[in-house]
Amino acid sequence: MTDATGFFGLTFLQLASFGLIIVMLALFMWDRWRYDLVAVVVLLAATLIGVVSADKAFSGFSNPVIVIIASVLVVSKAISSSGILDQLMKKVLKDVKSPSIQIGVLTACVTFLSAFVKNVGTLGIFMPIAIQVARRSNRSPSIYLMPLAFGSLIGGTITLTGTSPNLLISTVREGLGQKPFGLFDFAWVGFPLACLAVVFLAIGWRLLPRDRQGAPSADQKFDIEKYTTELRIKEDSPLVGKTVSDLEHLGDNVVLVRAITREGGHSYIPHRHWTLFAGDVVSIQADPASIKTLTDQGRLALVGAEELDRDEDERDDLGVVEAILGPESILIGHTPQSIQLRQHYDVNLLAVSRAGANRHTRLQNHRFAVGDVVALQGWQKELSGTLKELGCLPLVDRGLALGELRRGIIPLAVLAVAMVLISMHMVTVAVGFFGAAVLVVLWKQISLKEAYEAIDGPVIVMLAALLPVGHGLEDTGATKVMGQWIAEASTQLPGYGALALMIAVSMVLTPFLHHAAAVLVLGPVAAVVATTLGYNTDPFLMAVALGCACDFLTPIGHQNNLLVMGPGGYKFSDYWRLGLPLSIIVVAAGTFLIMTVWPLN
């Protein structure tokens, strides 16, 4: 039955393969089921029908691509959490007023960092910075965010690990009996194309609407008063010998010094010209982000942070939670000192906020009242139970990083070493990035909890499910048939026309079939097209990777486009305004670059 020909001279399994592609395309467009559920349903159907053999159905989970993507996400999270890039960009853009320069600098940073850090992670780092720049400049975030999203996509095309399509097309090449692509094989096309895209986006933002108002962030939806907290000036702090005014300036002048405690516990309300000394305890009022920035840049210590005792074999990761005191809270009327908060409940009070109140007292002497918002540090496994015991209601998790000491240069250094080892062929790509992910966790750049949260489970499951489906389409001959159809359509075209058509087809299919699924379907097809037309396969494989990575036409083809849709206030049609001319540039310039680096013959 499987060998018998049916309609149009196709076998049963080939017809079944095309049916699966159509069903998968329809389910992705329907958008009622999440993409990972669609992928596992398609894998199950393909296995039951016989398109994928039972012994290969779960081979995708052992594919090195899965390890690479998960490891890159962990390393990206560590770099994002370090705050080093945030600090750098604030300094670079501090006095820049021109929107074109602002967008150009931000987009360039996102673009080129996306070559080494997972592009969705890079976009996540720079989105808050871009929104802050927009607010300070009294401009809509809409003119900043879409260029950043597009830059992150095009930047991922520079290296093997920058984007999933590059990794997946490398597995397709390996399946054809050739060596997988190297780490920087994509750079000869991706880098000049990225430079061209950055220049266009720095100018082309004018095509975007300037009146869009993005959805409010979690902070804006629940706007609490600024926190009052205490910071100790350490011996190695750059603020030693500086003034109170210097400290407030380091906090972008949104930090207000309320009191200074020195000389055996005496508290003073300081003047702005007072000199700061090592050991001073400074009581400040600021939002959590400003507190974190100040502690990192000023090398200051949160008073009381991480002073919890626990036997080594019972030790858990420390976490910070925001909570509001309910009317039945046992804390009401007490101070942290009188109720012995740390000794009895194993939590530290890091900061407190009370509407309409400007506190000058020490945190340990703060008397709790109904409605106080507190930031508590404790052992993560016990925080939920402790909050119930204290009668506090947890607030939405804003990823508060108070009390966390991270040295931003370490994740970047680990990534750099991994890239060098991989480029020198001393380790494989999978081993290099897996080792980097292990090291950033061992060196406490992120916690184990954060590492697991960074790994995008749905994406991992989708890729692992679709990899054997892609191989099944190739084994049944379905991809060969599709390749022959496209080759017949390209017979009257010159070589560069066939290559441009492959990029365009990939771009058009990606919004409806997810970029990973599109690569796994079109990669083998591209190889057949090249062979049928008498060309080398590599240029056509590169064309598929480039086209599937560059979805600029819709918000649904790549998660980065969707990520900026709400904050930018974009409509579906807005993506065409900037995306269509950029797509034309990519097709034209990409075709020329691919033919130059990877000759057709």
446, pLDDT greater than 80:
yes
Binned at pLDDT 50, 70 and 90, residue 332 comes out as: very high
557 vs 157 pLDDT, higher one: 157
In this prediction, residues 12-23 reach a mean pLDDT of 89
Q: What is the mean pLDDT of the chain?
A: 84
48, pLDDT greater than 70:
yes
Predicted local confidence at residue 53, as pLDDT: 93
- State the Cα–Cα distance between residues 80 and 451, nearest whole angstrom: 12
474 CA to centre of own chain: 32
Domain boundaries, given as residue ranges, for the chain:
66-216+409-457, 223-302, 313-392
Predicted local confidence at residue 571, as pLDDT: 82
HEC string for 517-586: HHHHHHHHHHHHHHHHHCCCHHHHHHHHHHHHHCCCCCCCCCHHHHHCHHHHCCCCCHHHHHHHHHHHHH
Contact 391, 63 (CB under 8 A): no
In this prediction, residues 441-451 reach a mean pLDDT of 87
In this prediction, residues 183-210 reach a mean pLDDT of 94
The DSSP secondary structure of 290-337, one letter per residue, reads HHHHHHHHTTEEETTTT-----GGG---EEEEEEEE-TT-TTTT--TT
536 CA to centre of own chain: 35
Predicted local confidence at residue 404, as pLDDT: 55
Residue with tokens 């048939």: 481
Predicted local confidence at residue 265, as pLDDT: 77
In this prediction, residues 92-98 reach a mean pLDDT of 80
In this prediction, residues 60-77 reach a mean pLDDT of 85
Predicted local confidence at residue 275, as pLDDT: 94
Residue with tokens 């190695």: 236
599, pLDDT greater than 80:
yes
Predicted local confidence at residue 342, as pLDDT: 83
| Residue 382 CB neighbour total at 10 angstroms | 15
**365-392 per-position pLDDT tens digit:** 888 988 888 888 888 788 888 988 998 8
What class does CATH assign to 313-392?
alpha beta
295 vs 360 pLDDT, higher one: 295
283, pLDDT greater than 70:
yes
- State the Cα–Cα distance between residues 546 and 294, nearest whole angstrom: 41
Q: What is the pTM of this model?
A: 0.69
**482-510 per-position pLDDT tens digit:** 878 888 887 788 989 999 999 998 998 88
Binned at pLDDT 50, 70 and 90, residue 222 comes out as: very low
**Residue 406 tokens, joined:** 């991270």
6, pLDDT greater than 60:
no
Binned at pLDDT 50, 70 and 90, residue 596 comes out as: very high
Binned at pLDDT 50, 70 and 90, residue 218 comes out as: very low
In this prediction, residues 297-302 reach a mean pLDDT of 85
**390-440 per-position pLDDT tens digit:** 988 887 565 555 555 555 688 888 988 998 898 888 998 889 989 999 999
**36-46 per-position pLDDT tens digit:** 898 899 999 99
417 vs 310 pLDDT, higher one: 417
- State the Cα–Cα distance between residues 529 and 536, nearest whole angstrom: 10
Predicted local confidence at residue 2, as pLDDT: 44
300, pLDDT greater than 50:
yes
592, pLDDT greater than 90:
yes
**233-269 per-position pLDDT tens digit:** 999 999 999 999 999 888 777 788 888 998 777 888 8
- State the Cα–Cα distance between residues 229 and 403, nearest whole angstrom: 11
- Among 47-51, 133-137, 337-341, 587-591, the minimum mean pLDDT is found in 133-137
Predicted local confidence at residue 199, as pLDDT: 97
- State the Cα–Cα distance between residues 117 and 399, nearest whole angstrom: 20
In this prediction, residues 111-123 reach a mean pLDDT of 83
Predicted local confidence at residue 166, as pLDDT: 92
Binned at pLDDT 50, 70 and 90, residue 551 comes out as: confident
495 vs 31 pLDDT, higher one: 495
In this prediction, residues 319-344 reach a mean pLDDT of 87
- 223-302 and 313-392 share one CATH topology? yes
For the chain, percent of residues with pLDDT exceeding 70: 89
Residue 521's alpha-carbon distances to 21, 299, 368, 467, 536, in angstroms, are 8, 51, 61, 10, 19
308, pLDDT greater than 70:
no
Contact 209, 573 (CB under 8 A): no
Q: In the chain, what's the furthest Cα-to-Cα distance?
A: 93
Predicted local confidence at residue 241, as pLDDT: 94
Is CATH 1.10.1040.10 what the domain over 223-302 is classified as, yes or no? no
